[in-house]
Amino acid sequence: MATIQVRIDEKTKKSAKKVLDKVGMDMSSAVKIYFKQIVLTQGIPFSILTENGLTVEQEREILKASDEAKRGVNVSGPFETAAELKAHLDSLK
């Protein structure tokens, strides 16, 4: 059996331990499960999210759209009435 040492900040370690304690698992077992899942899935066994709860790609798309909107690119409207907006949306179908 091999030994792995991991350096992690104390706050993250304590927070993770609280979650693991609630499900009755110790840190070592959680790490073993994580590595087993990496092997089984041949990759990271979950979506990696940003602090905003989005995938990196989703966040990139939102930031791109925001930048385009600020520059007036790919922007429709403003619409004077709900009917104008509806007509515009219907034309996109």
Which of 1-5, 29-33, 51-55, 87-91 tops mean pLDDT? 29-33
Tokens 């995938």 belong to which residue? 55
What kind of fold does domain 1-46 have according to CATH? Answer: Arc Repressor Mutant (1.10.1220)
Distance CA 78, CA 85 (A): 9
Domain ranges of the chain: 1-46, 56-91
Confidence (pLDDT) at 26? 96
| Burial zone of 12 (CB within 10 Å; 0-12 exposed, 13-18 middle, 19+ buried) | exposed
pLDDT in tens, 35-77: 999 999 999 999 899 999 999 999 999 999 899 888 888 777 7
66: left (phi over 0), alpha (psi -120 to 50) or beta: alpha
pTM beyond 0.75: no
Mean pLDDT of 68-87: 84
